[in-house]
Chain A
């Protein structure tokens, strides 16, 4: 069974904090993605990676960075969390068949 795990299901952080969201996959796949999901806006791509050490900006990269030191692990970093980054964050793995993690619901107060 495919497994994509995310480090936390729920997270509450304060404005200005540095936040790390981690995604781990057991699919041995090169492609990993980070999305955020907001009501009425659907899923929006933040960053993606097609290989270790490689990263590409998605549609809304501002305020975020990523790290991929190992093939199975892709981290999303909020350098200085702001209230408008309160959202559901979803990690995704695959190419034309994609599998999502359970999501992290982040609240920034």
Chain B
């Protein structure tokens, strides 16, 4: 069983809708949680990171961490066609940077 599970999608939503993405994990020692966006044939781009539990907001993006349920989420409000990409979650137990990644969810926002 993988340490980090993420539904591969594709997740198709109409423009303007809220995109809801999530990852589950098995290692209760994970403390740092990241979300990346990856466009086709490009490297992943860091969107947000969260330390421990709680919510974090940055513009149209909100990241949530529920450590009791071992579950993290990313919400994208007012989605745009330019949000069409693969979204990767990643997490680690310490700040050294050795992350475990989810396989990524493909998101398609249709005009």
Question: Would B43 and A96 count as touching, CB distance under 8 A?
Answer: no
Q: How near does chain B come to A92, taking the closest CB pair, in angstroms?
A: 8
**Residue of A98, A102, A105 touching B99 (CB-CB under 8 A):** A98
A94 vs B32: C-alpha distance when bound (angstroms): 13
Whether B8 is near chain A, meaning CB under 8 Å from some CB there, is yes
Stretch from B44-52, B54-62, B68-76, B77-85 contacting the other chain: B44-52
Binary interface profile of A, 66-105, with partner B (CB < 8 Å = 1, else 0)?
0000000000000000000000001010111111111101
A96 to B51, CA, bound (A): 9
- Docked pose: A31 CA to B32 CA in angstroms: 16
The docked-state distance in angstroms from the alpha carbon of A4 to that of B46 is 13
Tell me whether A102 and B43 are in contact (CB under 8 A).
yes
Closest to A43 in B: B101
Q: How far is the CA of A95 from the CA of B34 in the complex (A)?
A: 11
| Interface range for A | 20 to 34
Point out the residues of chain A lying under 8 angstroms from B98, CB to CB: 33, 45, 48, 58
B28-47 Cβ-contact flags toward A at 8 Å (1 or 0): 00001010100001111110
Residues of B within 8 A of A94 (CB): 97
Question: Known contacts being A48-B98, A96-B32, A98-B97, is A42 close to B88, with CB within 8 Å?
Answer: yes
- Inter-subunit contact B95/A95 (CB<8 Å): yes
Residue A64 at the B interface, CB < 8 A? no
Q: Which residues of B contact A101 (CB under 8 A)?
A: 43
Complex Cα distance, B43 from A90, in Å, reads 7
Cα distance, A75 to B53, chains bound together (Å): 36
Q: A18-34 CB contact bits vs B (8 Å, 1 = yes)?
A: 00000000000001010
Residues of A within 8 A of B43 (CB): 4, 90, 100-103
Closest 6 CB pairs of A and B: A100-B43, A42-B103, A43-B101, A95-B97, A96-B95, A103-B43
